[in-house]
Amino acid sequence: MLLLNTGACNACDIEVLAALTPRYDVERFGVLLKGSPRHADILVVTGAVSRQIKDRLVRVYEQMPEPKFVAAVGTCAISGGVYDKCYNVYGGVDKILPVHAYVSGCPVKPEAVLKAINALAEKVMRGERD
């Protein structure tokens, strides 16, 4: 999985980070955090998508090989959250990319992140496509 923060307060990022650590441990589901889109099957997006980062979000998605899935993590990534109508944000990942999992919460809980990533990982392993 690849994590991208598109203009968030970081609370969701810390909880995604917590999902990597011993108590929650996403690795036991066979999921690893990667640094490059070319090695990722799942794109985990936090944040409301700021104007500046939108092109990069699209570019990262395009660089990922098929099959690929997107998880919108946190209320901001789903709908813009508290930044709804703010002048510098698009307000939701699905305004830019197809989204396969919506994880709500402000911030999300690590368990919810695990559930979503696990579900998407299973799709990858079953060879499903978008």
Partner 1 sequence: MAFSLPVGPQHPIHPEATLIKIEVEGEQVIDADIDVSYVHRGIEKAFEYKTYAQGLYLAERICGICNVAHTTCYAINIEELAGIEAPTRAQYLRLIVEELARIHSHLLWLGLLAHLIGFESLFMLIFRDRELVMDLIEAIGGNRVVPAYNVIGGVRRDIDNALAHKIREALGSLKERVKRYRRVATEDPTIRARTVGVGHLSPSEARDLLAVGPVARASSIKYDVRADDPYIAHAEVPFNIVVYDTCDTWGRMMVRIDEVLESIDMVLYALDHLPSGDFRVKVPPIFKLPPGENVARVEAPRGELLHYVVSDGSEKPYRYKVRTPTLANLMAVREMLRSRGGKAVYVADVPVVFGSIDPCICCTARVLIVDERGQARETTIDELARMRW
Partner 2 sequence: MREGEIVEELESKLGGWLKQVRVQRARRVFAVVDREHYKEAIKALVSMGLDFLEAITGIDAGDHFEVIAHVGRDISVAVKAVVPKDDPRIDSVMDVFKGAEIYERETWEMLGIVFEGNSRMRRAFLPEDWPRGVYPLRKEFQLG
Q: CA–CA separation, 14 vs 45, rounded Å? A: 13
Q: CA–CA separation, 101 vs 83, rounded Å? A: 21
7 binds, among partner 2, partner 1, none (CB under 5 to 8 A by kind): partner 1
13 binds, among partner 1, partner 2, none (CB under 5 to 8 A by kind): partner 1
Give the footprint of partner 1 on residues 6-25 (CB under 8 A): 7-15, 17-18, 21-23
Give the footprint of partner 1 on residues 49-68 (CB under 8 A): 50, 52-53, 55-56
Q: How near is the Cβ of 126 to partner 1 at its closest, in Å? A: 28
In single-letter form, the type of residue at position 97 comes to L
66 in contact with partner 2 (CB under 8 A) = no
Give the helix ranges, DSSP H, for the chain: 11-19, 54-63, 75-79, 110-125
- ∠ CA 18-107-113, rounded to 5°: 50
SS3 of residue 46 by DSSP: strand
Return residues touching partner 1 (CB under 8 A).
Answer: 3-5, 7-15, 17-18, 21-23, 35, 48, 50, 52-53, 55-56, 81-83, 85-89, 106-107, 109
